[in-house]
Amino acid sequence: PLVSMRQLLDHAAEHSYGLPAFNVNNMEQIKAIMDAARAAAAPVILQGSAGARKYAGEPFLRHLVAAAVEAYPEIPVVMHQDHGASPAVCIGAIRSGFSSVMMDGSLQEDGKTPADYAYNVQVTARVAELAHAVGVSVEGELGCLGSLETGQGEAEDGHGAEGALSRDKLLTDPDEAAAFVKATQCDALAIAIGTSHGAYKFTRKPTGDILAIDRVKAIHQRIPTTHLVMHGSSSVPQELLEEIRAHGGDIKETYGVPVEEIQEGIRHGVRKVNIDTDIRLAMTAGMRRVAAKSGSEFDPRKFLAAAMEEARKVCIARFEAFGAAGQA
């Protein structure tokens, strides 16, 4: 069944586990995630970005999720709007049947320029009031995703090397987080701890100076009943990078968020862990392997079946590592 995010995150908090939230754009990603959830007996958070709705089109995305709910009746499923850039986007998602929305008011409506705190509170509180009236959950975001190695915020005018942002400018402030949750009544809060979206997060395996798991602990201590969300939390498995490189791909040296660090976050209030890149890498590894090993292959299903199998393995590993396996 389709359920609200609040329901799943409350259960996760009560039983001290975390839920991966996987980005979806097409049937193959949804099937791979649902097959993994069935194998692991785990609840599922599917999330769609604005880019996903643009790629698949609203009716396709809506019907693909409905198909997943029908085909896997034993699995609780949340359909979540990822990085809603405005109240209008969130309302559109609710009308489309999403059971959860992210109002990302850390950025202005263009989704690129940093927004000030007052704007963030205003739009997030407004979405929470509307969403809660129809049983839909709301995720807010406070802080700047970006790199503690360079001081470069992810937002488009995030300062670069010369005007590097200090640690305290990038990371979510615990007192501000407490005020934000109180003012907005959001169900979950995305926090900035030095992660960023995509494959290129860290130039080395991250240590505490560039991945601030300590900040998770400080925020959790300040707002212990708020469900925390980690964005940019793909682990970027080195085996997948090697598999891609071995079959003609060209991906530079890079490191993601180690699963052990996410597990430490989950011990301190992290309940939702956003993962898109790892599924992209897994599918690319599968497709490249088939393409490289069988130059005469031209049935797309052969490429996509390998892609789904690689994605399924990653999803099962995350359900197990985060403690979500067996919780459906």
The catalytic residues are 82
6-65 binders of ligand 13P (CB under 6 A): 23
Question: CA–CA separation, 284 vs 291, rounded Å?
Answer: 10
Stretch that binds ligand G3H, among 6-14, 47-55, 209-217, 300-308 (CB under 6 A): 47-55
43-82 binders of Na ion (CB under 5 A): 82
CB of 71 to ligand G3H, least distance (A): 24
Q: Contact between 83 and ligand G3H (CB under 6 A)?
A: yes
Nearer to ligand 13P, 179 or 237 (CB): 237
Question: CA–CA separation, 81 vs 96, rounded Å?
Answer: 10
Q: Contact between 51 and ligand G3H (CB under 6 A)?
A: yes
Question: CA–CA separation, 320 vs 49, rounded Å?
Answer: 25
Nearer to Zn ion, 212 or 306 (CB): 212
Question: CA–CA separation, 116 vs 191, rounded Å?
Answer: 15
The pair of three-digit structure tokens given for residue 56, joined into one six-digit string: 């698949």
**3-state secondary structure labels for all residues of 215-237:** HHHHHHHHCCCCEEEECCCCCCC
Q: Contact between 275 and ligand 13P (CB under 6 A)?
A: yes
67-86 binders of ligand 13P (CB under 6 A): 82-83
226-255 binders of Zn ion (CB under 5 A): 231
x/- map, 235-274, ligand G3H, by CB under 6 A: ----------------------------------------
Residue whose C-alpha is closest to residue 277's, from 107, 35, 87, 25? 25
Q: Contact between 198 and ligand 13P (CB under 6 A)?
A: yes
223-252 binders of ligand 13P (CB under 6 A): 231-234
x/- map, 109-148, Na ion, by CB under 5 A: ----------------------------------------
| Number of amino acids touching ligand G3H (CB under 6 A) | 8
| Residue 1 burial (10 A CB sphere; 0-12, 13-18, 19+) | exposed
Using CB under 6 A, list all residues that contact ligand G3H.
Answer: 23, 49, 51-52, 82-83, 197, 276
Interacting residue ranges for Zn ion, rule: CB under 5 A? 231, 274
